[in-house]
DNA sequence: CAGGATCCACGGCGATACTG
DNA sequence: CAGTATCGCCGTGGATCCTG
């Protein structure tokens, strides 16, 4: 099975299934963070990932653990300590995610630019048809 | 700027921003389809991408167009014909997405397996504490 | 054929409060 | 510290109908 052969209709559902998890913003963040830092505690992750709520971080970690991408290690101490890290499977996922990350860093500017151009055109078109809209409204 | 350097806190927002679009399930599908088939019409895409509604396909294509990833070509015929294809920027995105796609195809089985194991353990734990739950409910 | 407009349900997600 | 439980909003997205 060649690499370019993987995108037949048959694999659409598999891709879809996988995307439902890893296509998730927080999951990508968590994998990215764990991939770089190796092992992190719950609140360390929470601090590193900007804007994540404690609820979403918990859910994300649970799903990643369930999918065999992240290990969860509980240390029976007080105060409690729980450490997260990537499994071997998770580390392999880190590769394509890293590629995506790099692409983002490199092309974010181009996207912002494209949006500006598109929006400028759109507002121009909107202004052009403003009379018709106003007419229809009145 | 090295590749491994791209995941500092600074790029978190850029990645987040990009992920909001390309992390989207349908966007990935569209890019994947266009990347393989080159140029596709609206309904061709709709047929190829299983489960997408016409509304979501429209929105997805608009966003991709706005981000400069997809071109939209209207042929003033009757019946109307609109063709979509990837821009150069879109083609570069196709690379990391393809990597993700390949990863999905290759590791989907492992994920399903991991889920089964996890769920089996969870239901076992749930059964274990069923009395306590029943007690609390009663 | 390609899509705009509208309606509506549902669930994702944040905020908050509580626990071991 | 690392969660669980509950509530409530509102955005997402499907279904449906209509147009050029």
Residue-level pLDDT, tens digit, chain B, 138 residues: 433 444 444 556 777 778 777 778 899 899 999 999 999 999 999 999 989 999 999 999 999 999 999 999 999 999 999 999 999 999 999 999 889 888 988 999 999 999 999 999 887 876 766 555 444 443
A108–B92 C-beta distance less than 8 A: no
Contact call for A101 and B49, based on CB within 8 A: no
Length of chain A: 138
Which chain B residues are closer than 8 Å to A103 by Cβ? 18, 92-93, 95-96
Give yes or no for CB of A133 within 7 Å of strand D. Answer: no
CB distance B25–A17 less than 8 Å?
no
The C-alpha atoms of residue A107 and residue B51 are separated, in whole angstroms, by 30
Nearest to B68 by CA among B23, B31, B26: B31
In this complex, the residue of A17, A97, A115 whose CB is nearest that of residue B108 is A17
Asked if residue A23 keeps its beta carbon closer than 7 A to nucleic acid strand C, the reply is no
To test the contact with chain B by mutation, choose from A1, A4, A6 the residue with the greatest count of B C-beta atoms within 10 A, namely A6
Tell me the nearest-neighbour CA distance from A49 into chain B, angstroms.
Answer: 8
* Strand C contact at CB of residue B41, distance < 7 A: yes
Q: What pLDDT, in 10s, does the model give residues A62-109?
A: 999 999 999 999 999 999 999 999 999 999 999 998 898 889 889 999
Label residue A130 by pLDDT band (50, 70, 90).
low
A87 CA to chain B: closest CA distance, Å? 11
Q: Which of A45, A38, A32, A50 is nearest to A98 (CA)?
A: A32
The tokens for A113 are 């630019």
Nucleic acid strand D within 7 Å of A65 CB: no
The reply to whether residue A66 touches residue B103, judged by beta carbons under 8 angstroms, is no
pLDDT at A121 (0 to 100): 87
**Length in residues, chain B:** 138
Q: How far apart are CA B116 and CA A100, in angstroms?
A: 29
Distance of CA B94 to the CA centre of its chain: 12
**CA dihedral sign, ordered A119, B91, B97, A92:** negative
């Amino acid at each position: 099975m060649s690499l370019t052969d993987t995108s037949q209709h048959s694999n659409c559902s598999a891709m879809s299934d996988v995307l439902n998890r890893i296509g998730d913003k927080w999951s990508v963040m968590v994998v990215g963070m764990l991939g770089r830092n190796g092992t992190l505690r719950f609140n360390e992750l929470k601090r590193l990932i900007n804007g994540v709520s404690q609820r979403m971080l918990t859910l994300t970690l649970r799903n990643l653990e369930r999918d065999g991408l992240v290990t969860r290690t509980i240390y029976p101490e007080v105060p409690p300590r729980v450490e997260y890290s990537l499994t071997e499977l998770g580390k392999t996922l880190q590769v394509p995610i890293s590629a995506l990350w790099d692409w983002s860093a490199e092309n974010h500017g181009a996207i912002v630019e494209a949006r500006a151009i598109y929006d400028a055109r759109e507002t121009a078109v909107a202004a052009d048809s403003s009379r018709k809209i106003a007419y229809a409204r009145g």
